[in-house]
Chain A
Amino acid sequence: ETGVTQSPTHLIKTRGQQVTLRCSSQSGHNTVSWYQQALGQGPQFIFQYYREEENGRGNFPPRFSGLQFPNYSSELNVNALELDDSALYLCASRIQTGEDTDTQYFGPGTRLTVL
């Protein structure tokens, strides 16, 4: 088990609604990334936050947004939910400087279902 936690575990929303997912980083990690894993696929990079700013983004529309807080915890917000947003959302944390900066440690994920 990593020290990365996510909440909630499961969530059901309807199309057009908005959702907020939360992540608490592993102790000592100052960088957080979010990934979307659709059923039967590998995770896809959404974005990364460091020092409370987004510093990398994958091929996701602006209705996917995030925040990072001074304690390095993070939120993923998705507006105007679509059916295709149904997926497992994974949070990963890592350190930005020093050794082992490439290794990301994942939380258990939040399963989002959009009806």
Chain B
Amino acid sequence: AQSVTQLDSHVSVSEGTPVLLRCNYSSSYSPSLFWYVQHPNKGLQLLLKYTSAATLVKGINGFEAEFKKSETSFHLTKPSAHMSDAAEYFCVVTPRGYNKLIFGAGTRLAVHP
């Protein structure tokens, strides 16, 4: 069975400080992993994806994530938070070749001045 656990429901940081959003996954098959962001009253925007190439994946807006198979983790990081980063972030897994995306419960990121 496949599942995703986002370890923090809420994360609060100050502008200019690093961001870490944690995600652990469970998959019986070689997975593809994604991070999506959802701003208020908006749809989901793809931040980055891992599909078995380099384990360190760079995405949009300065975000990156590292795939660690031994730890079954795919944590999202950014060196310096901006106010515009405040949003809901979803870690997503899909076993390669399957139809559906399996979402975590989400992490709400708040960025304070």
Chain A residues in contact with chain B, CB under 8 A?
2, 4, 33, 35, 40-45, 48, 55-56, 58, 90, 92, 102-109
B105 and A41: CB pair below 8 A? yes
- Whether A104 lies near B101 (C-beta < 8 A) is yes
B residues touching A (Cβ–Cβ < 8 Å)?
32, 34, 36, 42-46, 49, 51, 90, 94, 96, 98-106
Total residue contacts A-B, CB cutoff 8 A: 53
Q: List A contacts of B94 (CB < 8 A).
A: 102
Q: Whole-angstrom distance between the alpha carbons of A42 and B100 in the complex?
A: 13
Q: In the docked arrangement, what's the CA distance between A45 and B92, Å?
A: 12
- What are 5 A-B pairs at a CB distance below 8 A? A42-B90, A43-B103, A48-B100, A56-B99, A108-B42
Q: Give, as a whole number of angstroms, the nearest-CB distance from A105 to chain B.
A: 7
Q: Which residues of B sit under 8 angstroms from A104, Cβ to Cβ?
A: 101
Q: Which one, B45, B51, B102, B106, contacts A102 given CB within 8 A?
A: B51
Chain B: minimal CB distance from A73 (Å):
17
